[in-house]
Every structure is written in structure tokens, then in C-alpha cells.
Chain A
Amino acid sequence: MKFARRAAYRTAMFVVSIFSVVAIWELYKIIGPQDGGKFFGVSVLPRANNTAMPHISTMLSRYSRPEVRGSDKKIWVVVLSGAWFSLRLSLVGFFLGTTIGVGLAILMARFKIVQRGLLPYLVMSQTVPLIALAPLVVSWGGKLEIGSFVWPRWLSASILGTFLAFFPIAVGTLRGLSSAPAAAVELMESYAASWKQTLFKLRFPAAVPFMVPAFKLGASGAVVGVVVAEISTGLKGGIGRLIIEYAREATGDPAKVFTAVFGAAALGLIMAGFVAISDVFFMRNRPKESSI
């Protein structure tokens, strides 16, 4: 009961905060300079005119109008199918990333030498912009042939999602696998349990509270990777391409790009939602304090 009330309160606060953002946007449109403001010769204040900053209502109503003049395809259909396309790529990337990340974590937990050799690179890789590889990886599309399998362009985007997803997942899972208390490990030893038995009966269940936040990072990494791949190479079909295309039309149809931007936001939130649901599922029987 208490829990439900708190959830309702949080939702309400979230809605209020969204409305505050809307209010600030509209307020700036009233008081802000129409053609941007300069301080010491540098333009820091954005233009408040309707071309640069359309009204929120214009953005929302844009959804019900056709994508291009004369077409009978409403823009919300286009944005939705673009987001759906990117979502599928992100899911592929996420699942590949999970497989590789968890696999590496198991390997590192099993063999100290692998952990010693690999972990510094994993930590370092969090700090270097791997995303710079996006155009490179996407350029494999259509050119690379492995036997009779021709590498499709969309797979490159997913692979990029995998790149960004698997590092946090590997590190988080490793931390979780090593979090099993020494006494519990000793207990399993006293049962003469095999390493595999200890892994599945003790280490993995103990790792869940660490894996959930790692998966959250991984999920948003997968989305970022896919969208960046789409944007940097203009990969057709996804939400990233729509954003780039619509941004070019911004002088004539300023609200259009926002429909796609909101689509990208929805995409990220849906991926996060999947992880949040699995969090609730896996942690349902755990003591409430330990849900980190």
C-alpha cells in the first residue's frame, strides 16, 4: 500500500517535471531574443523564433499530419516504424552484448589470469570513445562476405550497440559474481560442489543486484550505439536517419524534427523499461533493503 502510494507520488512528480520543462520552453519563447543573443560577440542565447523553437503544441499536432505534403502516410506512423526498426536493432545488440559480457565475466571469474590481463582494458574501454568506430563498422555492410553470408548493414548498427552494451555488463556481472560472501563459498566447498554448481546455485543469484544496474547501462548503451550508427552513416529505416533527414527540413518544417527526437526518447525509455521490469521480477523475493 505504502509502496503503491510512493509510486503514484513519483509518477505525479515526473509528470509535473515534464510540464515544467514545457513551461520553461514556452516562457523562453516569450522573453527570449527572436534572433539569438550575443554576449561579448559569442552567441550564447538560442533564437526564440518559431523556426528554431516551435511551440510544443505545434510539435504534437505535427504527428497527425502527413510526413511529406501530398503523402497519405501520417508522420506518427513513420516515426513509430522508425523507432520500431531501431528498437529491434537495439535488442539484437543488447542480447549479443549480454551474451558476450556475461561470458567474459564468467571467464574472468573462473581464471584469475584472464581477469588480470583483460580487466584493465575493460575499464579503459569505458573511458575511450568506442563510438568513433561507428562509421567504420557500418562500412562493412554489403561488402563483407563470410562464406555465402553477406554482412547486412543493419547488423553493423547492432554490433555497435553490442560494443557499447557489453562493457558495462561484463564489469557489473564480474563484480556481482565475486560478491558472493566467503562463508557461502566455503559452504558450497563443504558440500564438495563443483565450480559449475557454485556458479549457478550461488554466484549468479548473488550477482543479480549488481547485474541489474549494469544491464540498465548496457540497454542504454545499445540504443546509443544503434542511433549513432544510423546517424553517422545515414543507415535507412531507423529513427536516427529520420532525425538527420527531418533536421535538414527544419527551416521549412521546424516541428518535424521534434517528432523524431521524441521517438528516440521513447525508444530509450522502452529499453530501460524492459530492464526495470526484469529487475522487479528477479528481485521480487529479495529482502527490500538489498535492492541497490
Chain B
Amino acid sequence: MKILTRIKNILVPLSFGVVFLLLWEGAVRVFDLKPYFLAAPSKIFEQFTKNTSRIWDATSVSGTNALVGLIIGTILGIAMSFVLSRFSFLNQLITPLAISLNAIPIFVLVAVLNNMYSITSEIPRRFMVTLVVYFIVLVNVAKGLTQVRSTHVELMHSYAASDIEILRKVRVPNAVPYLFTALKVAAPASVITAFVSEYFGGLQNGLGSRITSNIANSKNAAAWAYVLGACLLGLAFYTVSIILEKITRKGETK
């Protein structure tokens, strides 16, 4: 019974995906679509296998930028959220700012950061990823640390627990799921930011630059192959964040 629904949950999406690819391939062939409009999946795959090592190089450049920013941004975000949970005035000051940053295409700051560092460095890109991740983590973890159930806090007060103990026994455990929610958003966002940053000029060695340069040379199937690499990178980051969440969850239930 359970196995059956599980198979269904895999088979149905799988067949949707296959049908989609077939339709795509078919449309390109039947209507003889020009490659600049839509490249055939078979061509894209061919390019992907042919250029695997180059795509891997580009992916590792963008991936490293994303990873460095993700780690630093997460650490800073967590640290700051502890500060915010301690001083509610600061919290009220920063939270609206962080929320309104959500509505802004904040990555345009790369244009400014490129001037603040030397143009041939990866630092501005990593800085940008850090900034994006920092605010996502900050808002969520601060929420987890402050929005605890008042009955729990009262219970701890009745044990005459100190603030540090309340932090360790109530606030931190409450904030853990919030952290992973944040990471699930921040991980793909870090990849996106990393290679959107490349559109602003500077070093031409990452996925974003490769995609633009291939299109400029009308090698669209190759560009699609790099897009495929970008998608795999995003998926990898997301998957890792989910696995991390699963591991901590398991620890909880034991």
C-alpha cells in the first residue's frame, strides 16, 4: 500500500518529465525551431557530455563563490541573531530593514562592490552572496530565538533558570528548525547570486560568464549545457541543505 503510493509519487512526475522532454524535442524537430530560440534536449545533452570538464571548471568557480558566501553569511547571520534576540531594540531596528531588502534586487550592489575591491578578484561576488545569505539567516533565526512559547519560558522561570539556561534549553532548540528553513532558501539563493554577480563584469571564468559568452558566439546549445550545469549546482546545494535538516531531525527524535 505505502510502497504503491511511493512508486506513484515517483512514476507520475517521472513520466511528466519524460513527456515534457519528448514534446520539447519533438517541437524543435517538427517546427524546425532555430537553435537561437530553443535548442533540442538531445543537442544540449550532447554538448554537456562533450564539454563536461569545462562545465565542471566553471561550475566549481561559481560553486566555490556560492559556498564561501553561504558559510560566512550563515555564521554571521547566526551570530547576529543571538545579539538581536538579546537586545530587542536592535531587533526592531534591523528586522524591517532586512524585510524590505527582500523586495529589492539587492544583487545590483555588485556594481558598487566591484569598485570597492579590485575588479579581478572574486571577493565582491563572495561578499554579495554573504550579504544575501546573511539577511535570510538573520531574519529566520532571530524569529526562532524570540518566538518561543511563553509557557516554556514561564516553566523555566519556575525552575529559577538563568537567561543562559533558557537560551540553551528553550530558545536554541526552538530556533533550529528556523535555521534549516532559512538554509533551504539561502542555499539556492547563494548559487543564483553567485552567478548573477558574474554578469557585472570582472573575471570571466564562472557559469554566468560562460553562458553569456556562448550566446554571444551563437553557440546556444552549449549555453544551455551550462544552464544545465547551473541547475545541477542549485539542486546539489538544495539537496545538501535537506540532508542536513534530516540528520538533525533524526537526532531530535532519538
Contact = CB atoms under 8 A, between A and B. Distances in A.
State whether these chains interact. yes
Contact of B92 (A13, A132, A134, A224): A13
A119 B224 CA distance: 23
Given A13-B93, A243-B108, A126 B188 contact: yes
A128 B234 contact: yes
A128 B112 contact: no
A261 B117 contact: no
B192 interface: yes
A47 B37 CA distance: 43
Nearest to B184: A127
A47 B12 contact: no
Contacts of A244: 111, 200-201
A37 to B, nearest CB: 11
Interface string A239-251: 0100110110011
Nearest to B118: A43
Interface in A94-124: 113, 116-121, 124
A224 B109 CA distance: 13
B13 A120 contact: yes
A272 B109 contact: no
Interface stretch (A177-185, A196-204, A215-223): A215-223
Nearest to B34: A143
B123 A44 contact: yes
Interface residues of A, number: 68
B105 A224 contact: yes
Contacts of B208: 132, 232
B124 to A, nearest CB: 9
A18 B82 CA distance: 22
A103 B36 CA distance: 29
A250 B92 CA distance: 35
A254 B235 CA distance: 38
A53 B112 CA distance: 8
B196 A17 contact: no
Contact of B37 (A21, A133, A140, A251): A140
A58 interface: no
Interface residues of B, number: 59
A261 B52 CA distance: 37
Nearest to B220: A136
A36 to B, nearest CB: 7
A8 interface: no
B231 A17 contact: no
A275 to B, nearest CB: 9
Give the dominant DSSP class at A's interface: helix
Given A231-B200, A244-B111, A264-B108, A47 B103 contact: no
Interface in B89-143: 92-94, 96-97, 100, 102-105, 107-109, 111-118, 121, 123
B223 interface: yes
A205 interface: no
Nearest to B218: A139
Contacts of A193: none
A20 interface: yes
Contacts of B55: none
Given A13-B93, A16-B93, A139-B220, A228 B196 contact: yes
A89 B54 CA distance: 35
Contacts of A251: 115
Contacts of B96: 10, 13-14, 17
Given A136-B224, A220-B103, A257-B115, A117 B231 contact: no
Interface in A4-52: 10, 13-14, 16-18, 20-21, 36, 42-44, 46-47, 51-52
Nearest to A36: B117
A47 B114 CA distance: 11
A243 B107 CA distance: 11
B230 interface: yes
- Count chain A CB atoms within 10 A of each CB in B108, B116, B199, B224 and give the residue with the most: B108
A116 B8 contact: yes
Contacts of B145: none
Interface of A: 10, 13-14, 16-18, 20-21, 36, 42-44, 46-47, 51-53, 113, 116-121, 124, 126-129, 131-136, 139-140, 143-144, 216, 219-220, 223-224, 227-228, 231-233, 240, 243-244, 246-247, 250-251, 254, 257-258, 260-261, 264-265, 267-269, 271-272
9 contacts: A13-B96, A14-B100, A128-B235, A132-B195, A132-B208, A254-B115, A268-B103, A269-B103, A272-B103
